[in-house]
Structure 1
């Protein structure tokens, strides 16, 4: 290239660079102008509505509705948090609030204690499940909505509160001192047998990793040599807690997750920084369709390193990261700022919200467009649709009668009656419902409404509606009626034919009265098909090896 040509080349390149910068500056200016213009229009509209609208308006409420509607166009996780909701938001992210430490709700007759959390004022003072709340301090709350009752129970730590409840035929008064309530991320852990430990991880708020670590260390001191980590129904939470939990099982210096977004300051690679508690213990992780976000990072990272066998069902598929940003007047915004990518390089986000905004429906990644990635051992894993387990476990499906007995509060009410009649029961893993107990439950249901539609009845109804349009309907109507009568007769026997699952539900509800949340979880593990499958893997190391070493086809 001669001197003139070189000069022309550099001049041309410089001109292109200047034009590009000018264009970028112009685009940025155009966007800033559009923002300023629309903000001005919005503010002007609110002022004019306040002045001219025929009825009085609440500007705060109107603006909040407008902001929420705007954010709904983006994704479900980008939220506006006004000042008055800051405490609720803080509780969701930290698991902390000031109160008595009890879940309350309405079971038809009024607001009652549904679960006092172990070790907090409600439980230690003597409040129990099914206690009907009548008064809080001097306020009659018998007919108030649950949200107002909850607010009255909350308050600064170390402040007193009096609660009057109805328990069976008695009216009782309790004097409590509110405490800083920190909900457990690990509501239960224990030994399933001499070798097998179990940890239930239900959330990822502050201290989640410390709770899992403490549970693991305690179980190891009790002699376990294999572990089940259960993140089913875990909605996720703090990303750094997920990284720390993965670090319990894999060596220092390993990548756990990357976050990649539009701005450089949200791009970050999270690695393990500590010596693991146990990098060799056989590990099974349980997931399902309600395992999301941080729960998927833990499960996915352990799968990518071939460190654990995953059992259950495909996870939710939330690969989006939110950052909380302070706004003026103590408001906040939780904004999706990045996507996360686990060690194999895959992003497990299942819904493309950009496409969804364009076509008006939730758009998922088609199977044909999902990309292949490899685990440490070379197994094929796919992106774009959550974390897929190494082996599926079918969801337990209950019969319509079981759903109806629970929804109608009949199981809840019988468990309460049983509690009043029986001062104590054996430990959760020992307690069983006797045949006489079940007969008592059937007598308890006499005269109570628990009507329901079976799957067969629904199918027959659909068939009848279809056949009514046919000319020969009258000819077969008698046969249809005969079938319906037989179904009704079978329905009368559903309490017997579905006795096994109804007894399981009753047992767990009764155990909760004596042993609270921890006991209810422990009782539910006995007939859990995922737990049973996990044990088969532990009992067959060769099976584990073949799953973790072979490439998925």
Structure 2
């Protein structure tokens, strides 16, 4: 039976009331309203269960009610069922349970595309490119990914049996009995020195409770290799744990530097957050890459650095999520989060998207009087990229630079990558690039590793994807009935770089992949070029 969320629009059930005791802080009138709403919801459930024409599934009905209730508050207040809550906890804590693989269906066969380092799967010897034929004795051919994920997942201490066909080096079938366990889920995907420079590069996929540890560890490693500048890539990073974000920022500031003002109704949440220790990397030059999917904690990270002129912000306007949520867990393994506050950066800048996105603002008169002609020109150019708005509030950075307040973080330097066409998108979505690379590595992996060993720099410089290789890929794609010569010609150079990057990914992981893709990545190239003008852009004297 399909449940209409409007049917259950109210609602805190007795699960919430029993799980959290806030009676002492609620006045009697509010408490009576809550108690009445709970009884009202209970009565509606009982009537629906007794008289509705279909059999009622109470947990599903209640879940729909909770989701509708929290969504009516704001779009960032969310109820999580057990599976959703487990994933949220994994992402936030940096820990997970299971065996530690990521799978996708390629040619009707589930294929391992990622083995998390130091996970049970890694310890057992599973590899990227392995094809899963059986799970616990059941055929996995044409099995849905969601079904396979459920079968592979399980409680720590239990085991899963996998029958694997290894793509690389043999056609024999192998049995793996892998014991599920806890393992670390890294938030830092890549960290290396860009070749022939002293510039470090870090790619962060999210901010978990362990992100600051990962950053500190890799800052130390890269510094030993001579790093004097760091690029932090936050593109696609939707945020995460606030405390880890502020701890990571503390590396770049003196102790007790103001990082964030949190404005909340509840006094215990209303606070100012300062840097927690004396940063070891206060002199390190920084550039931060952002895009439209850099949100929340990513916007804090970029916004604070921008306010203090501690780094160049390069890329696209960010997501505009400037609210703070707190998570509560329930006794039945579910949970929910509530928006408790809104934050502002040290300059007083609000990150949250304005409620009236079409509103036209007047600029601060002081800006018109005091800004140089160059500053006015720069601001006008930035305004052109903000959806046609005419005027915006302006704040100043520590060095007196003017920045726009429009929600989110407006980069110091706007940059976007070239778009890929529909042929490339289809080939990517269906996994044909990846499948072709796995087929290629079936016979070539050992030879490539023997030649290049751990040196992905050497591979990037010497290995060529020639036209014969591309023609082989064209034949492969035609066998899948997906091709368009005109679109191929448009994206031919992207094909060349992307196929090479996928080979590097399978040999050296994210570091290899990111190293190769930098040749196509215009945002990275813009950052590298802009770092030559670091002091002048940030007005450092």
Shift of 1:335: 0.6
1:35 — aligned with what?
34
Structure 2 vs 1, CA of residues 58 and 305 (structure 1 numbering), >3 Å: closer, same or farther? same
1:548 — aligned with what?
538
1:459 — aligned with what?
none
Counterpart contact for 1:365–1:385, Cα < 8 Å: no
Structure 2 vs 1, CA of residues 152 and 518 (structure 1 numbering), >3 Å: closer, same or farther? farther
* In the alignment, structure 1 residue 173 sits paired with structure 2 residue 163: no
1:440 — aligned with what?
472
Structure 1 distance, partners of 2:98, 2:512, is 23
Structure 1 distance, partners of 2:162, 2:82, is 29
What do residues 342-376 of structure 1 show as CA deviations (whole Å, max 9, x unaligned)?
Answer: 11111111153999xxxxxxxx9994674322211
1:466 — aligned with what?
none
Structure 2 distance, partners of 1:506, 1:104, is 19
Pairwise mapping of residues 297-446 of structure 1 onto structure 2 (< 5 A)? 297-327=300-330, 329-350=332-353, 352=355, 367=389, 370-424=392-446, 425=448, 426=452, 427-429=455-457, 430=459, 431-446=463-478
What do residues 409-454 of structure 1 show as CA deviations (whole Å, max 9, x unaligned)?
Answer: 3212211111112123234332432333222222323333115xxx
Q: After superposing the two structures, state which structure 1 stretch, 201-210 or 442-451, moved more.
A: 442-451
What do residues 469-519 of structure 1 show as CA deviations (whole Å, max 9, x unaligned)?
Answer: xxxxxxxxxxxxxxxxxxxxxx53443443211112211222222223332
1:488 — aligned with what?
none
Shift of 1:316: 0.7
Counterpart contact for 2:417–2:521, Cα < 8 Å: no
Structure 2 distance, partners of 1:176, 1:379, is 56
2:49 — aligned with what?
50
What do residues 296-329 of structure 1 show as CA deviations (whole Å, max 9, x unaligned)?
Answer: 1111000000010111111111101001124454
- TM-score normalised by the chain length of structure 2: 0.81
**Residue segments in structure 1 that go unaligned for 5+ positions in a row:** 1-26, 356-363, 452-490
Structure 2 distance, partners of 1:40, 1:148, is 38
* In the alignment, structure 1 residue 450 sits paired with structure 2 residue 482: yes
Q: After superposing the two structures, state which structure 1 stretch, 312-321 or 116-125, moved more.
A: 116-125
2:286 — aligned with what?
283
Count of equivalent residues: 474
Q: After superposing the two structures, state which structure 1 stretch, 442-451 or 202-211, moved more.
A: 442-451
Structure 2 distance, partners of 1:449, 1:145, is 23
Counterpart contact for 2:494–2:520, Cα < 8 Å: no
Shift of 1:75: 2.4
2:497 — aligned with what?
504
Counterpart contact for 2:108–2:141, Cα < 8 Å: no
Helix, strand or coil for the counterpart of 1:446?
helix
Choose which of 491, 514, 525 in structure 2 pairs with 1:532.
Answer: 525
Structure 2 distance, partners of 1:186, 1:416, is 25
2:220 — aligned with what?
217
Structure 1 distance, partners of 2:334, 2:101, is 28
Structure 1 distance, partners of 2:288, 2:318, is 12
Structure 2 vs 1, CA of residues 384 and 121 (structure 1 numbering), >3 Å: closer, same or farther? same
Counterpart contact for 2:91–2:185, Cα < 8 Å: no
Structure 2 distance, partners of 1:532, 1:172, is 44
Structure 2 distance, partners of 1:513, 1:544, is 35
2:99 — aligned with what?
100
**Residue segments in structure 2 that go unaligned for 5+ positions in a row:** 1-25, 359-385
* In the alignment, structure 1 residue 513 sits paired with structure 2 residue 472: no
1:137 — aligned with what?
136
Structure 2 distance, partners of 1:225, 1:285, is 15
* In the alignment, structure 1 residue 191 sits paired with structure 2 residue 193: yes
- TM-score normalised by the chain length of structure 1: 0.80
Helix, strand or coil for the counterpart of 1:423?
helix
What do residues 374-417 of structure 1 show as CA deviations (whole Å, max 9, x unaligned)?
Answer: 21112222334210110011232112221122223321221111
What do residues 503-537 of structure 1 show as CA deviations (whole Å, max 9, x unaligned)?
Answer: 12211222222223332233222332122222223
CA RMSD of aligned residues (A): 2.6
Counterpart contact for 1:136–1:153, Cα < 8 Å: yes
Structure 2 vs 1, CA of residues 422 and 386 (structure 1 numbering), >3 Å: closer, same or farther? same
Counterpart contact for 1:128–1:513, Cα < 8 Å: no
Shift of 1:252: 0.9
Helix, strand or coil for the counterpart of 2:445?
coil
Structure 2 vs 1, CA of residues 500 and 213 (structure 1 numbering), >3 Å: closer, same or farther? same
Structure 2 distance, partners of 1:334, 1:396, is 37
